[in-house]
Amino acid sequence: MDKKLMTIDLNSRILLEKAEKDGVETMYDRKIAMKSQCGFGLQGGCCRICGMGPCRITPKTPRGLCGADVHTIVGRNFARMCAGGTAAHSDHARDIAHTMALTSREGNYKIREEEKLIELAKDWGIETEGKDIYDIAHEAADVALMEFGKPYGTSIFLKNAPAKRQEIWKKLDIEPRAIDREIATVMHSTHIGCCADIDSLINLSLRTSMADGWQGSMIGTKFSDIMFGTPTPQQTEANLGVLEANQVNIILHGHEPSLSEMIVLATEDPELVALAKEMGAEGINISGMCCIGNEITMRHGIKIAGDFHQQELALVTGAVEAMIVDVQCIFPALSRVADCYHTKFITTSKKAKITGSIYMEFKEENAYQDALQIVREAVLNFKNRDKSRVLIPELKSSATVGYSVDAIIKQLDRVVNVEIDKQGTIKPLVDVIKSGTIRGVVGVVGCNNARVASNLAHTTIMKELIKNDILVITTGCGASAAAKFGLMKKSAAKKYAGKGLATVCELVDIPPVLHMGSCVDCSRILDVASAIANFVDMDISDLPLAGVAPEWMSEKAVAIGTYIVASGIDTYLGVMPPVGGSSRAVEILCGELEDQVGASFTVNENPEELAALIIADIEKKRVHFEKIY
């Protein structure tokens, strides 16, 4: 296998060569060394839930020792993936809610969006009249924290969905109750000797994933916006070329904005900037990786260093003083790569300590002081940089990012004829979808996966969609890919989009691929879908929408895909999830769910074919949409 063909990113290719020269092992080497991966695992047909196993299902041994058949085993494994993903997103949200509880006028965390908070508080039945905004914030934090463990009732957000959708959820019993409860229920139901019915296991998977999208992630997004600001269009740059040869380079990698917002502030501290100069640097250059990259670029225009598959390669540049991480998507391998250079690999969360890293705990109670100390560590390290080992690849692309739902509506206001219509609604988008100028809207989300070439499926599919007049909204490492490959430039509309979409982009002044944030912000996709559906008084499944995860790899992505389907949006995957061992699981996920929730999964590992399938299905949806709207 030629390593260079495992990524289409030219910076990555250059750095893979350097890694080889420097004797540094990367994920790409490990992928080659791994040769063929475990077939039982790939199919989902291996059970190691109890100590009698592991049991592997073969034609000769069609049942595990307890008698579980392959459908039960696949279903249990799938449900646990959904629970893992839901736990990760929601525990992130829990920390954000705790941060909300810490907000104060004098403290580190403040309320930036008072109106948004009041609107949310009212929606949640919190008395707001005559109350101090911080008292409202603390009450809202309490309500949000109750969503994790409340003994009765269902998610506080469900009522924002179209009425028809809510009925479906009720009928199928997939309205999420408390977040922790749904995760615990799946862990319980998948314990040895509990649920052994594939239909039921998938139903439980849907409900748990709903606790991610319609509960945990929504809390994460809404509270982050209230505390750190709702994203607005920002100019930025993306790819490893954003590293600076003469500055202290700090890369933030991970997920929670409570840490990154403080680090960003700390890099502006005059004393630390002066210290950087003392160390011989021209300044401090901060950039982001993975979802933290998305969080800080959409609020501050901070540059995106790269995506999930570039984390080791960033260190291979030899120009990174510190890689500061919190939780999720962090390769343990970074310890070994950092050892080969002068880079300090700094872990900050008790939830994600990594052997070989420097552990500097970040506590929200002492946020700014902790951040100052962490940044100081990075700055002091500049003197240890070995210039002879530095190679910063040149490529980077400009991008316009930060399209929250509010930002999109604001852009749409540009084309509203105020004599006829109100501003501040989704109507202009509905109008161009209705007229067919834009054929539909597709959310492209998710990771990079070593089973396919990095960035190839993301970019191929996005280009195909916009060429066919489909507006793309994107989050996570899909968003990073789009930014790196120039698809978030406004000029990309002329270059790649079909005539209809290009015209709309020009009038509304947006790129054809819209950056909606981190993976937790897939909740924004649910908000857009609900806003459109509510506006036209239809169900989400009636709209020409789709979701696609071309290079997904994490459990979080499985939970996202599952709640997107449960929300009535067909979801397309570029990598097969480990469910192939059960014909019944495939039948349900890729077929029968359509009858239940009005949407299902489609898998195709060829990006061109997958794009063609999406486009054809959007056109089919249009026929239905045009008939009833």
Using CB under 6 A, list all residues that contact ligand NFS. 290-291, 308, 328-329, 446-447, 476-477, 518-519, 554, 556-557
Q: Which residues contact 568 (CB under 8 A, 6 or more apart)?
A: 165, 168, 529, 539, 540, 541, 597, 598, 599
Closest by CA position to 449, among listed 313, 577, 547, 294? 577
Contact indicator for 475, 443 with CB cutoff of 8 Å: yes
CA 578 distance to own-chain centroid: 20
Distance CA 18, CA 3 (A): 12
Tell me the closest approach of the beta carbon of residue 15 to ligand NFS, in angstroms.
18
Cβ proximity to ligand NFS: between 121 and 453 the closer is 453
Tell me the closest approach of the beta carbon of residue 556 to ligand NFS, in angstroms.
5
Distance CA 253, CA 36 (A): 30
Cβ proximity to ligand NFS: between 64 and 446 the closer is 446
Tell me the closest approach of the beta carbon of residue 477 to ligand NFS, in angstroms.
3
Tell me the closest approach of the beta carbon of residue 185 to ligand NFS, in angstroms.
23
Cβ proximity to ligand NFS: between 381 and 459 the closer is 459
Tell me the closest approach of the beta carbon of residue 330 to ligand NFS, in angstroms.
9
Q: Which residue has 């290079």 as its token pair?
A: 551
Q: Which residues contact 534 (CB under 8 A, 6 or more apart)?
A: 162
Cβ proximity to ligand NFS: between 531 and 575 the closer is 575
Tell me the closest approach of the beta carbon of residue 295 to ligand NFS, in angstroms.
10
Dihedral angle of Cα 118, 120, 126, 132, to the nearest 10 degrees: -30
Instruction: Give the largest CA-CA distance in the chain.
Output: 73
Q: Which two tokens stand for residue 12?
A: 């990555």
Distance CA 622, CA 370 (A): 53
Cβ proximity to ligand NFS: between 433 and 447 the closer is 447
Tell me the closest approach of the beta carbon of residue 402 to ligand NFS, in angstroms.
17
Cβ proximity to ligand NFS: between 458 and 584 the closer is 458
Contact indicator for 561, 548 with CB cutoff of 8 Å: no
Tell me the closest approach of the beta carbon of residue 288 to ligand NFS, in angstroms.
10
Give all strands (DSSP E) within 512-587, no chain letters: 513-517, 545-549, 571-573
Contact indicator for 253, 288 with CB cutoff of 8 Å: yes
Cβ proximity to ligand NFS: between 327 and 378 the closer is 327
Cβ proximity to ligand NFS: between 175 and 555 the closer is 555
Cβ proximity to ligand NFS: between 222 and 253 the closer is 253
Distance CA 309, CA 315 (A): 12
Tell me the closest approach of the beta carbon of residue 62 to ligand NFS, in angstroms.
34
Residue 237, SS3 per DSSP:
strand
Distance CA 224, CA 299 (A): 10
Q: Which residues contact 251 (CB under 8 A, 6 or more apart)?
A: 286, 287, 288, 289, 305, 314, 320, 322, 323, 324
Cβ proximity to ligand NFS: between 444 and 569 the closer is 444
Tell me the closest approach of the beta carbon of residue 328 to ligand NFS, in angstroms.
6
